[in-house]
A and B are shown apart, each in its own frame.
Chain A
Amino acid sequence: MNSTFIDRWFERSKSSMIFLGLCFMLSVGLVGVGQLCGCRTATTAVDASRRFAPGLTITFPNPPTPGVVNLLNDCGAKRASEKAFVIPAYNRHDENQGYAIHQALVEGATLTGWRAPP
């Protein structure tokens, strides 16, 4: 069977084309992965440096009184240790949270930001 010019050219350049194709796909993949990593890193950096923490850690100098413990439990706070509670989602319009936080502050508590572990 007589081969056409295209067939002959394809036969000769097939391995080169495969090689170039692989190079192209590899480069696209690398750039894509790089961009994804870059975006993720940048987002994480902004989160860490600027965005307010969604929650609060309430740390007491002494174990909190039962009254304050009840208030914190009632507003959805989680006990983190003998002297610490976590409010995972602080909302200043939530009056139950506000009252519990006030009573905690009266007992000498310190407030710091809280974020869910990655």
Chain B
Amino acid sequence: MKRSTSFGLNQVDPNAYNGWAGFLNGCWSDADKMAALMGTAGYEARAFFDAECTMNRLRQQLEIAARVSEAGDTFYFSFSGHGTQSLGVWFSTEEGMACYDGILGDSEFRELLAQFKPGTNVVVDLDICHAGGLDRAFGQSARVAPLWSTRGKLVTPKAIVDVPANLIIRAACLRDELSGDVQFNGVPNGAYTGSLLETMDDGMSWRQWLTATQRYMSNRFPTQHPELIEVGGSGMADQVV
């Protein structure tokens, strides 16, 4: 069984963010089109928008998917909206996803993904600012990136031990980068998700798809560098979408 859930937030609840609504334009379109794309690719796809995308909804969706998924099943999750980066312990940074009613941090995200059973396949696309920083949640307590770290100094994690599923995360940008909210032929989309849609071709693996997207974005959105984070070395990234 293949399932897909997409979150798209063109705004957040100002009451939860000190009056800031964080308006964006392309996130609904991201969620719509990724859901449709995954539907045509054989997934059972759903999408949620704005006020539906609460922290509890995200938790619930991942918990349900983890509960019903068996070995061999694939779950795809995409999140388009704002990402956050804040100062953590000892000059480290902590990243998170801006849900409608608050920020879901990278540590909790890891715990949610850790519920998937061994042998299940999980793919996460994060079209948010600082998306590459979400990888820190996957077991590298020693991987502390100081705020002044530059792109060249960041270390991509090799193997993650505490998530039993075959997991890959595709991040729209590196930890210290921002993700663009742009237009493709007059239609709003995230720069990353729009590029994913432009580059998808029949029979591509998850890795090939991201490589094509990286190449596409290097010309059109050169300030954004999508990255692939593989967990466990299961070969998941080389499976056909």
Contacts and interface: CB of A to CB of B under 8 A. Distances in A.
Contact of A56 (B29, B39, B47, B203): B39
Given A50-B240, A90-B40, A93-B185, A111 B45 contact: yes
Chain B interface size band reads 20 to 34
Interface string A81-118: 00000000010110100100110011011111100000
A75 to B, nearest CB: 12
B159 interface: no
Given A52-B202, A56-B39, A95-B187, A110 B240 contact: no
Contact of B40 (A53, A95, A109): A53
B37 A105 contact: no
Interface residues of A, number: 24
Majority secondary structure, A binding face:
mixed
B28 interface: yes
Given A53-B42, A92-B197, A98 B33 contact: yes
Interface of A: 49-57, 90, 92-93, 95, 98, 101-102, 105-106, 108-113
19 contacts: A49-B240, A50-B240, A52-B37, A52-B40, A54-B40, A55-B40, A56-B36, A90-B36, A98-B33, A102-B28, A102-B49, A105-B31, A105-B47, A106-B49, A108-B46, A109-B46, A111-B46, A112-B39, A113-B40
